[in-house]
């Protein structure tokens, strides 16, 4: 069931999508924002890290049809995020808990109504209402009985559990089985699906707290941190690698080996005249997905020799003489003068 955050946070605004956005639009907005605010792109920026977490939280709710339906219902009651205010004499104006819930349970909302009133005091130093208990019965959560209002007490679904885990880069790409310890000493063994991303929160159904007899278990909301790899990076479902090549290989062309995450190297062709920064694509060597696998993107990095033999120096000087009068920066300066 939802927490107070669902009353206070507008997840649609966080992702920058309208309330009627479909799943594709929500996923597209999440991916764009997650790339922009990812801690790797903003090292040391606490605000970016906070925004990244908020983006993940918003996507976790809006990407789940059941949670999104509950979130929309709660938000509609509070007119888009306003907190409930105490009504009655001396209270703030506007709808309070008693106005909302008396109409739900058959009571009259006006001063002259004959039905009973349900009053929840949210002001002063009094205890705050347990929103999850209040809303449990509304959304099938099996909340407590509300005496006199006809809401039956039933078996309650187990509570959701929030946990964090750190995976190696390889385990995140290929999937892994992990064992987690909960706060009450319970150990949970579960399978992490292949392709999980750094900072992603995944829902593991039925891995939360046990429910009452006859009620389902809660879910495990697992936030994943992925360690960096010394060689490979990630771009969506593609893996990336910097590929060093010699000047001769880049200038004359060559066939070279490229490492893969699976271990066995693959051969790629370097075309004559290949510059630094060119990306070579190796099909099907990226992140595995259901019915699909990403590619390996090898970025060419031409290595400049640090020491030259006498023969090598003479060869380079001969090349320099042949290129006399050629200015590789002429086009750069021409574009720089454009308005």
What pairs with residue 165 in β-bridges? 224
In a domain, 209, yes or no: yes
In a domain, 313, yes or no: yes
Q: Kindly state whether residues 166 and 220 are assigned to the same domain.
A: yes
Domain boundary among 204, 226, 248: 226
In a domain, 146, yes or no: no
Q: Kindly state whether residues 302 and 277 are assigned to the same domain.
A: yes
DSSP of 299-324, one letter per residue?
Answer: EEEEEPPS---HHHHHHHHHHHHHTT
In a domain, 142, yes or no: no
In a domain, 155, yes or no: no
Once rounded to an integer, what is the mean pLDDT over residues 28-45? 85
Does residue 310 register a pLDDT over 80? Answer: yes
Q: Kindly state whether residues 17 and 130 are assigned to the same domain.
A: yes
How many distinct structural domains can be found in the chain? Answer: 3
Q: Classify residue 114 by burial, with Cβ atoms within 10 Å: 0-12, 13-18, 19+.
A: exposed
Residue 316 backbone dihedrals phi, psi, to 5 degrees: -65, -40
Q: Kindly state whether residues 182 and 105 are assigned to the same domain.
A: no
Q: Kindly state whether residues 102 and 27 are assigned to the same domain.
A: yes
Domain boundary among 226, 251, 272: 226
Does residue 300 register a pLDDT over 90? Answer: yes
Q: Kindly state whether residues 27 and 130 are assigned to the same domain.
A: yes
pLDDT at 45: 85
Distance in angstroms (rounded) separating the CA atoms of residues 17 and 52 = 16
- Listed range (69-78, 131-140, 202-211) with the worst mean pLDDT: 131-140
pLDDT at 311: 92
Which CATH number is 99's domain given?
1.10.287.110
Stated pTM of the model: 0.52
Q: Kindly state whether residues 176 and 283 are assigned to the same domain.
A: no
pLDDT at 339: 66
Domain boundary among 197, 226, 255: 226
* Mean pLDDT value across the chain: 79
User: Between 109 and 295, where is the model more confident?
Assistant: 295
In a domain, 77, yes or no: yes
Which CATH number is 301's domain given?
2.60.260.20
In a domain, 47, yes or no: yes
Q: Kindly state whether residues 32 and 132 are assigned to the same domain.
A: yes
- Provide the pLDDT confidence category of residue 245 given band limits of 50, 70 and 90: very high
Distance in angstroms (rounded) separating the CA atoms of residues 311 and 309 = 5
Distance in angstroms (rounded) separating the CA atoms of residues 97 and 90 = 15
Q: Kindly state whether residues 184 and 261 are assigned to the same domain.
A: no
- Provide the pLDDT confidence category of residue 78 given band limits of 50, 70 and 90: low
Q: Kindly state whether residues 203 and 239 are assigned to the same domain.
A: no
Q: Kindly state whether residues 126 and 35 are assigned to the same domain.
A: yes
pLDDT in tens, 212-226: 888 898 888 889 999
**Residue 123 three-state SS:** coil
pLDDT at 249: 94
In a domain, 255, yes or no: yes
Does residue 124 register a pLDDT over 80? Answer: no
Structure token pair of residue 199: 């900072």
Which residues, including other chains, have CB under 8 Å from residue 306's CB and lie 6 or more apart? none
Q: Which residue range is the domain that position 49 belongs to?
A: 5-87+94-110+119-136
Q: Kindly state whether residues 10 and 132 are assigned to the same domain.
A: yes
What is the number of alpha carbons within 13 Å of residue 92 lying toward its C-beta? 13
């Amino acid at each position: 069931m939802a927490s107070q955050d669902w009353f206070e946070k507008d997840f649609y605004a966080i992702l920058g999508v309208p309330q009627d956005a479909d799943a594709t639009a929500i996923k597209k907005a999440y991916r764009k924002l997650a790339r922009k605010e990812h801690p790797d792109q903003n090292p040391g920026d606490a605000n970016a890290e906070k925004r990244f977490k908020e983006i993940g939280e918003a996507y976790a709710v809006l990407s789940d049809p059941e949670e999104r339906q509950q979130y929309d219902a709660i938000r509609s009651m509070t007119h888009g995020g306003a907190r409930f205010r105490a009504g009655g004499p001396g209270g703030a104006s506007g709808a309070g808990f008693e106005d909302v819930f008396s109409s739900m349970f058959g009571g009259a909302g006006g001063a002259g109504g004959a039905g009973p009133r349900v009053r929840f005091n949210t002001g002063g130093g009094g205890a705050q209402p347990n929103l999850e208990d209040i809303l449990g019965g509304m959304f099938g959560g099996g909340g407590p009985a509300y005496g006199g209002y006809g809401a039956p007490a039933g078996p309650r679904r187990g509570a959701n559990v929030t946990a964090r885990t750190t995976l190696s880069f390889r385990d995140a790409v290929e999937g892994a089985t992990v064992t987690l310890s909960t706060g009450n000493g319970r150990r949970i063994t579960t399978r992490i699906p292949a392709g999980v991303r750094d900072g992603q929160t995944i829902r593991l159904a039925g891995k939360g707290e046990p429910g009452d007899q006859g009620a389902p278990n809660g879910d495990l909301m697992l936030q994943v941190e992925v360690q960096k790899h010394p060689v490979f990076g990630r771009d969506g479902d593609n893996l990336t690698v910097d590929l060093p090549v010699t000047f001769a290989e880049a200038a004359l062309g060559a066939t070279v080996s490229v490492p893969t995450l699976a271990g066995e190297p693959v051969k790629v062709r370097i075309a004559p005249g290949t510059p630094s920064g060119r990306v070579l694509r190796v099909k099907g060597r990226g992140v595995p997905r259901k019915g699909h696998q990403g590619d390996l993107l090898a970025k060419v990095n031409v290595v400049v020799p640090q020491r030259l033999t006498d023969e090598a120096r003479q060869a380079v000087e001969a090349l320099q003489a042949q290129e006399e009068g050629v200015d590789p920066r002429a086009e750069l300066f021409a574009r720089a003068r454009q308005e």
